[in-house]
Structure 1
Amino acid sequence: MNDSREPASVELSDDGLARRAKALACTAPLQALDENKGSLRWVKADVYQLAEIALHTIDQVTVSMDFDSGANQQRVLDQVTRFVALQAPERTAEEHRKVARHVLQRLINVGTVDRSFTEKIGSIDRSGVYRRYDFQFNLLVERAGPDGKIYLRASDEAINVLVGALDTDVESAQIAAEVKLESLIRRGRIAEAKLAAEQARYRTVQYGEMLRQLLDATSRDIRAVDWEHEVPKLLADALIHIEERYDFEHRILSNISDLRDRSDEPLRKRQAAELVTIVRDCIRRHMQLQQRLLTAGTLFREEQDRQQFAELPVRAVLDLHGQLLTPALGLPLGDALAVGEEFFRGASGVGPPAVLELSGLVSRLLRLAPERDRLGEEIPEPDLTDTTEKPVFSLEDWAATDALLDLRDTPRQLSDLLTEAERTAPSAAALLLHRAVNAFNPQVGESIARGDPRVLVGVATGDRFDLPHFGGDGLLLHSAPIVSPPDASDAPGSEPSLPEDLSDE
């Protein structure tokens, strides 16, 4: 017998492996949230399951998406914050909001240039060679709505993260989900039917998102979409699909309503009511999608007329960071220099020559050289400025504060002294405060070395004062004499000290 088996290299190629690798790559940003939560300095995130919060965020955005506009970011944050609060009810509401915003920003990938995730995956081609390449994808994107506001939209990869598949035919997956839903309802398994209904709704959103992107691409450039063969067939299949789904979902809705009305258990009635809401939302989305499909031909003709008579597009501006700097940094030095020289040669433009004609060149060559001054040009006189620093406080300020701080008889409050200084010598008030603060911890040793007879001492009173220009803790100030021990002449090495009453304080 002849061995008709294909070579081993062909058997190794597996499209399913590449699809599963992509599905695994789409979950990497969610797993990284929990892996890196220990590095968050603004919150102790060990009690939060950030991957679950991310799934809930994608769920809320997907359900809130509409054909024309996406999900309102503030509303999504409010809904996700309530879910975060269930994980850590003892934490504050402000922290719950910050955690929800952190997860949302990580799903949008805020902080990157193109806001897309990149994962290294590999696959085996038909020749049996294993190749690695970058798989770029988005989970949540920000898009402008018809009203000019910014909305959130979930990408196909984000929806596939929810339903656990990737690159699945949308129509086939939705038909399978609805058949499964009808079977579960017929057997009375409401909890599983709710999960199947949610998956069917995700597929409905994904189908609408695919058609919305097609119409958006048409609005930008009709040449980017095949309106001769591909799009008409897609629109016809979509209309047939919507008609079948409309009848199918109405039958499901009737069965659920009967099950809800016949059930006596409160839990089953509540589950059936939630299931009714989900199926009605699917019907609403299908009706909205049908309206857009019916107007797709009109949109194509309008865009064809508009773009046919539009002006030629302006050349796109060069992205210096993404298209020049980042690739150049990854090159060897010799190659990077060649790229830089070529860019600056083209960016600087052509410089006009100094001489435009031959006659001008001859006249310049025959021109006599100008006379030069042997002594050179005159040296200008330098403009010198006085850099001597002036004292901050004048002698009058020091004399005024000396008079106020001569507290030989009775101590006084700092607030009273500042009030009197502002009345008699306003410029000395700041100096008075400065000397009072130094008196709180006086350098007695330095005063003794200078031979001062008295030293200013400040004691905290525990009160506070508030003046028009000053404020703070209250101080009781007193000018204490420096006395020597009785046997100062007989005790070598003895030093003067403060009186006992003040030293105790």
Structure 2
Amino acid sequence: MTSPLPTEPVPSQFSAGPRPAQGPAADEGLARRLRALACTAPLHDLDARKANLAGEYGVYAMAEVALAAIDLVTLHMDFDTGADHDQIVARLLPRVAAQAPGRPAAEHERVARWVLENLINVGSVDRGFRAVYGTFGTDGVYRRRDYDFKLIEEVPGDGGSVYLRTTDEAVNVLVGALDTDVTSAQIAAEVKLEVLISRGRLADAQLAAEQARYRTVQYAETLRRTLEATRRNVRAVDWLRTVPDMIDEALDHVADRYRHENAILTNIRKARDEADTGGDPKTAEHKRRAAELVDIVKDCIRRHTQLQSRLLEAGPLFRAEQDRQAFARPAARAGLDLYGQLVAPLLPLPVADAGRVTDAYFAHGTGLRAPAAVRVGDLVDLLLTPPVERAHLGAEMPEPDLVATPDDSRFSEKQLASARELLTLEPDAPRRLSGLLAEARRRDRGGELAHLIVLLAVHAASPPVGTAYRQGEERLLFAVDDGTPLDDEDFGGADLIVGTALLDAAAMATARTEAA
């Protein structure tokens, strides 16, 4: 028999004690992945909830339609405006129809609108989504945090119109990243695009070009929100350091991208022009990809041109808003605190005194009344227009369609009369509920009279004495539980003592006289 091996100390990482939480950097990476997962949850939820739609919608891939909707809104929105709701639905219809070509066009439109409205989250209070995730703080304590985000939001436009705009979270869902630095992501995407083009992998290059365009849209969206916050309150934005640094970095970024994108555009055109189809399907596909890349990169250049013009206008806009908000005239008079200045002082006062105050307030608070005729010509037309003859009895009322209500009562009038007769007891001769049930079954064999007796007896367990006094009744049915169980084949509970109590008629008359 071999001797046991000498024991060695167990390493600390395998000890039975609790392991300390990871550092803040590692936990921040986990939190970013959890937020990325939360942004995709509304898309997965569409496929889970499509079974609730009235009809057979299992054939549609709702998450695929949602990604296409986010893509369309992102590419159709501009710096100042967004995408049109009906236009996005119209462009979604071919993709929806391709999933179920045999279904009617009305169903395709309903699916497209349903997906778009769920991405906007129509029906919620703030039209946003919320996810809960947990992180470890610097003290090692686990805390739950709320992550509020939106995918597509509605923004007002000129003339009362409403546009659709995608948020940063939606763009991040589209390109597969979250909380990525815009500048570094744009540079990496375009370097990747240049390498793919130089190697002739135009299919992968098209995907990289589309991702670069999404990052450009996201960069412009960041600047637009900054300028909107400045228009609302110039003090809410750090125009001393943060925004000027961001504008300088963005201008340098745009200048670099111009040189980079023009070089890429030259290489793509060269690849497109040198591709000789010669009947080869692969070469034809290569040339088609190159033509599509030309359009995408030209769109990126157009967006960078627009971004540069907005960046150059940011400084003058800040100075104009600073002058407008700093030198704006204050309000001529303070607003009225309706509760503190009117309601609270009036509550302790009598009605007569409070009425004079409220009459004076509403007489002056209703505002001016516009006259019926503000010009002499209107007054002449009003005086010379003959009065319209009106019918003496008014407009003819439509004849209502009356439908007889079916009698669905469980108990008949005969059963109700029999029950009242059974429960008409002498004041000095109460009876048990079990005896009343036995007599009810003898009178109404196989009927519902026994059930009606039980209901009336249970109702009498809490008799409405006050109501009986006010209505002038002289008798009142009551039921008392003395602890005796009910031995019955159909009902359980207590074998109540049911009786009749006489009410004091003189006291009732006195009460009615005092009330009068």
> TM-score scaled to structure 1, two decimals?
0.62
Q: 2:205 aligns with which of 183, 193, 207?
A: 193
- Does the 8 Å CA contact 1:181/1:196 hold for their aligned counterparts? yes
Give the RMSD, CA atoms, in angstroms: 2.8
Q: Any residues of structure 2 matched to 1:274-313 within 5 Å, and which?
A: 274-311=292-329
Secondary structure, aligned partner of 2:44: helix
1:386-440 CA distance string (max 9 Å, x none): xxxxxxxxxxxxxxxxxxxxxxxxxxxxxxxxxxxxxxxxxxxx9xxxxxxxxxx
**Residue 132 of structure 1 pairs with residue 127 of structure 2:** no
For the residues of structure 2 that align with 1:32 and 1:344, how far apart are their CA atoms?
Answer: 45
The equivalent of 1:222 in structure 2 is 234
For the residues of structure 1 that align with 2:253 and 2:121, how far apart are their CA atoms?
Answer: 35
1:475-505 CA distance string (max 9 Å, x none): xxxxxxxxxxxxxxxxxxxxxxxxxxxxxxx
Deviation at 1:353, TM superposition (A): 3.3
1:358-401 CA distance string (max 9 Å, x none): xxxxxxxxxxxxxxxxxxxxxxxxxxxxxxxxxxxxxxxxxxxx
One-letter amino acid matched to 2:204:
E
One-letter amino acid matched to 2:207:
L
The equivalent of 2:102 in structure 1 is 90
For the residues of structure 1 that align with 2:222 and 2:310, how far apart are their CA atoms?
Answer: 12
Secondary structure, aligned partner of 1:181: helix
For the residues of structure 2 that align with 1:152 and 1:316, how far apart are their CA atoms?
Answer: 36
The equivalent of 2:253 in structure 1 is 241
The equivalent of 2:474 in structure 1 is none
Q: 1:56 aligns with which of 50, 65, 68?
A: 68
1:296-344 CA distance string (max 9 Å, x none): 11111111111113355899999xxxxxxxxxxxxxxxxxxxxxxxx99
Distance 1:355 1:192, change over 3 A: closer
Aligned length: 328
**Residue 350 of structure 1 pairs with residue 345 of structure 2:** yes
- Does the 8 Å CA contact 1:10/1:127 hold for their aligned counterparts? no
The equivalent of 1:211 in structure 2 is 223
- % identity of equivalent residues: 54
* Unaligned residue ranges in structure 1 (runs of 5+): 319-342, 358-429, 431-505
For the residues of structure 1 that align with 2:217 and 2:260, how far apart are their CA atoms?
Answer: 17
Secondary structure, aligned partner of 1:8: coil
Deviation at 1:9, TM superposition (A): 3.2
Distance 1:234 1:347, change over 3 A: farther
The equivalent of 1:150 in structure 2 is 162
The equivalent of 1:258 in structure 2 is 270
For the residues of structure 2 that align with 1:164 and 1:171, how far apart are their CA atoms?
Answer: 16
Range that drifts further, 305-314 or 216-225: 305-314
For the residues of structure 2 that align with 1:147 and 1:168, how far apart are their CA atoms?
Answer: 36
- Does the 8 Å CA contact 1:61/1:70 hold for their aligned counterparts? yes
The equivalent of 1:79 in structure 2 is 91
**Residue 268 of structure 1 pairs with residue 286 of structure 2:** yes
The equivalent of 1:483 in structure 2 is none
One-letter amino acid matched to 2:302:
R
The equivalent of 2:34 in structure 1 is 21
Q: Any residues of structure 2 matched to 1:359-374 within 5 Å, and which?
A: none
Range that drifts further, 16-25 or 265-274: 265-274
Deviation at 1:122, TM superposition (A): 1.2
Distance 1:355 1:97, change over 3 A: closer
Secondary structure, aligned partner of 2:153: strand
**Residue 39 of structure 1 pairs with residue 52 of structure 2:** yes
Distance 1:356 1:61, change over 3 A: closer
One-letter amino acid matched to 1:27:
T
Distance 1:141 1:346, change over 3 A: farther
Secondary structure, aligned partner of 1:36: helix
One-letter amino acid matched to 1:349:
A
Secondary structure, aligned partner of 2:238: coil
The equivalent of 2:497 in structure 1 is none
For the residues of structure 2 that align with 1:147 and 1:355, how far apart are their CA atoms?
Answer: 48
Distance 1:297 1:46, change over 3 A: same
One-letter amino acid matched to 1:35:
A
